[in-house]
C-alpha cells in the first residue's frame, strides 16, 4: 500500500515537471570568456556587448564573465581549454588556430586577401562557412568573424622597405609554423612567442621586432620599444568569436538562436569600432615618436611568398580548393 502511494507521488511529480518543462525556460549557464586584449579594445567591447545581449535576451539565465588581458592563459592554451570546455567562449585570431584546425591556415597565407572589404565578404560567405566546419570538427563553434585589420612589421633597428631590410632580423611571430616559413623566406629569423612576452623581449633585445596591426602595436606599448613601423600589410587575419562546442551543444535551440544573433550583432559593432581604433592608434604612436613608412612596392614581398604557398599546398593538397576560392575571388 505504502509502495503504491509512493509510486503515485513520483508519477505526479514527474507529470507536473513535464507540464512545467514546456512552459518554463530550460537551462541556466554561467559562461567563462577568454580574451587576450586589454579591456578598452574593439575585441573586448564586442565581447562585452555579446555577453550583455545574451544575458538580457535570456532574462539572466545565461550569464557569465569575460576575463580580459589573457589572465586565463596564452592563446594556444586557451584554444585547447575551449576545445575541452574549460573556457566557454573567446575571440581567437585564426593565426595560432592553424596549429589545431588546418582549414584556418588558409587565412594565414601572406597577402591572400586583396583588401579588408574582400575579407569581410568572403568570411561572411562560403570561405567562412568552410572554416567554420573545420573548427567544429575540432570542438569549436564559430559564431562570427571580427576584424583585426592588416599586420605590418615593426622593429627597433630600421624602417623596412624591401625584403633585404628583414635579412638577419630576429622577428617574433604568433605560434604557427607558417609564420616561421614566412619570415625565413624574407631572410629573417622567426621566434614564435606568446603575445604577453613580446614587450620585454623587444626591450631586452631577445628579438628585434614583431608584426601586428596598429591597435595591438599601440595597446601593448610595443611602440615604445620598437620605433619603426613599416606598412607591409602582409597578413589580413580575421578573428573568430567562438564558443566551445560543449557549451554550444548544452544550449536549447532557442538559446542557440539568441547566442548566434548576439554574436552576429557584436561582430558588426566590433568592425565599426575597429576602423576608428586603427586611426586613433596610428595617431597615438606617431605622437609617441614612431616613424611610420609606407612600403611603396609590396611586389618583392609577395614574390618571396611563392615558396610559402608551394610548401603549404604540397603539405595540404586537400586545402587547394579553399585557397583558390580566396585567390580567385574579386
Ligand atoms: C593580435 C591578435 C591577438 C594575437 C596577437 C598576437 O588580436 O589575438 O594574440 O595579435 O600577435 O592582433 O599574438
Residue 283 has pLDDT above 90, yes or no: yes
CB contact at 8 A, 66 and 48: yes
What are the φ/ψ torsions at residue 213 (nearest 5 degrees)?
Answer: -80, 160
Confidence of residue 12 (pLDDT cuts 50, 70, 90): very low
Q: Does CATH place domain 151-236+280-327 in 3.40.190.170?
A: yes
The total number of residues written for the chain in this structure? 330
CB contact at 8 A, 270 and 45: yes
Mean pLDDT of 276-290: 98
pLDDT at 105: 98
pLDDT at 16: 37
Q: Among all chains, which residue has been given the C-alpha cell 539572466?
A: 60
Distance (Å, rounded) from C-alpha 270 to C-alpha 313? 33
Residue 11 has pLDDT above 50, yes or no: no
Q: Where are the domains of the chain?
A: 29-147+237-276, 151-236+280-327
Q: The C-alpha cell of 303 is what? A: 614574390
Which residue, by CA, sits nearest to atom 4 of ligand 1?
A: 93
Other CB atoms within a 10 A radius of the CB of residue 10 amount to 10
Beta bridge partners of 191: 172
pLDDT tens by residue, 289-319: 999 999 999 999 999 999 999 999 999 999 9
Range 198-224 burial, b when 16+ CB lie within 10 A, else e: bbebbeeeebbbbbbbbbbbbbbebbe
Mean pLDDT of 125-145: 98
**CATH number at 29-147+237-276:** 3.40.190.170
Task: Using the Cα atoms of residue 238, residue 146, residue 35 and residue 219 in order, give the sign of their dihedral.
Answer: positive
Cβ < 6 A, ligand 1 pocket: 36, 75, 93, 148, 174, 195, 212-213, 216, 239
Residue 5 has pLDDT above 50, yes or no: no
pLDDT at 83: 98
Mean pLDDT of 6-11: 34
pLDDT tens by residue, 181-210: 999 999 999 999 999 999 999 999 999 999
Among 14-23, 190-199, 251-260, the least confident range? 14-23
pLDDT tens by residue, 81-128: 999 999 999 999 999 999 999 999 999 999 999 999 999 999 999 999
pLDDT at 27: 80
Distance (Å, rounded) from C-alpha 161 to C-alpha 175? 25
User: Quick one: which of 262, 256, 217 has its CA closest to 241?
Assistant: 262
Domain 29-147+237-276 matches domain 151-236+280-327 at the CATH topology level: yes
Ligand 1 mean position, distance from CA 129 (Å) = 22
User: Quick one: which of 116, 100, 55 has its CA closest to 266?
Assistant: 55
Ligand 1 atom closest to residue 93's alpha carbon, by position in its atom list? 8
User: Quick one: which of 102, 98, 108 has its CA closest to 309?
Assistant: 108
Confidence of residue 178 (pLDDT cuts 50, 70, 90): very high
Mean pLDDT of 232-260: 98
Residue 15 has pLDDT above 90, yes or no: no
For the chain, give the percent of residues with pLDDT over 70.
92
pLDDT at 24: 52
Which residue, by CA, sits nearest to atom 13 of ligand 1?
A: 195
Residue 22 has pLDDT above 50, yes or no: no
The residue to mutate among 35, 36, 146, 207, having the most atoms of ligand 1 within 8 angstroms of its beta carbon, is: 36
Ligand 1 mean position, distance from CA 105 (Å) = 15
Higher pLDDT, 130 or 22: 130
Which pTM value belongs to this model?
0.92
Amino acid at each position: 500500500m505504502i509502495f503504491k502511494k509512493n509510486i503515485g507521488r513520483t508519477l505526479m511529480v514527474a507529470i507536473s515537471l513535464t507540464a512545467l518543462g514546456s512552459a518554463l525556460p530550460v537551462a541556466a549557464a554561467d559562461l567563462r570568456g577568454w580574451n587576450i586584449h586589454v579591456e578598452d579594445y574593439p575585441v573586448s567591447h564586442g565581447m562585452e556587448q555579446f555577453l550583455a545581449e545574451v544575458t538580457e535576451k535570456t532574462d539572466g539565465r545565461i550569464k557569465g564573465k569575460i576575463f580580459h588581458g589573457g589572465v586565463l592563459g596564452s592563446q594556444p592554451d586557451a584554444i585547447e581549454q575551449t576545445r575541452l570546455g574549460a573556457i566557454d567562449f573567446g575571440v581567437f585570431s585564426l593565426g595560432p588556430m592553424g596549429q589545431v584546425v588546418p582549414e584556418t591556415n588558409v587565412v594565414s597565407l601572406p597577402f591572400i586577401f586583396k583588401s579588408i572589404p574582400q575579407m569581410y565578404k568572403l568570411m561572411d560567405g562560403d570561405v567562412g562557412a568552410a572554416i567554420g566546419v573545420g573548427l567544429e570538427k575540432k570542438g569549436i563553434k564559430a559564431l562570427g568573424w571580427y576584424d583585426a585589420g592588416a599586420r605590418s612589421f615593426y622593429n627597433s633597428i630600421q624602417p623596412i622597405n624591401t625584403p633585404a631590410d628583414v635579412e638577419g632580423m630576429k622577428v617574433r611571430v604568433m605560434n604557427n609554423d607558417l609564420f616561421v616559413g614566412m619570415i625565413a623566406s624574407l631572410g629573417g629569423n622567426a621566434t614564435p612567442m606568446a603575445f604577453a612576452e613580446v614587450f620585454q623581449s623587444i626591450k631586452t633585445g631577445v628579438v628585434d621586432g614583431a608584426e601586428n596591426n596598429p591597435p595591438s602595436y599601440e595597446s601593448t606599448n610595443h611602440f615604445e620599444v620598437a620605433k619603426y613601423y613599416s606598412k607591409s600589410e602582409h597578413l589580413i587575419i580575421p578573428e573568430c568569436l567562438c564558443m566551445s562546442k560543449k557549451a554550444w551543444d548544452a544550449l536549447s535551440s532557442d538559446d542557440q538562436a539568441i547566442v548566434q544573433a548576439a554574436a552576429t550583432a557584436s561582430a558588426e559593432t566590433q568592425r565599426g569600432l575597429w576602423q576608428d581604433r586603427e586611426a586613433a592608434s596610428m595617431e597615438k604612436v606617431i605622437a609617441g615618436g614612431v616613424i611610420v613608412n609606407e612600403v611603396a612596392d609590396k611586389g618583392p614581398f609577395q614574390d618571396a611568398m611563392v615558396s610559402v604557398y608551394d610548401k603549404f599546398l604540397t603539405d595540404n593538397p586537400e586545402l587547394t580548393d579553399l585557397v583558390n576560392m580566396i585567390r580567385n575571388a574579386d
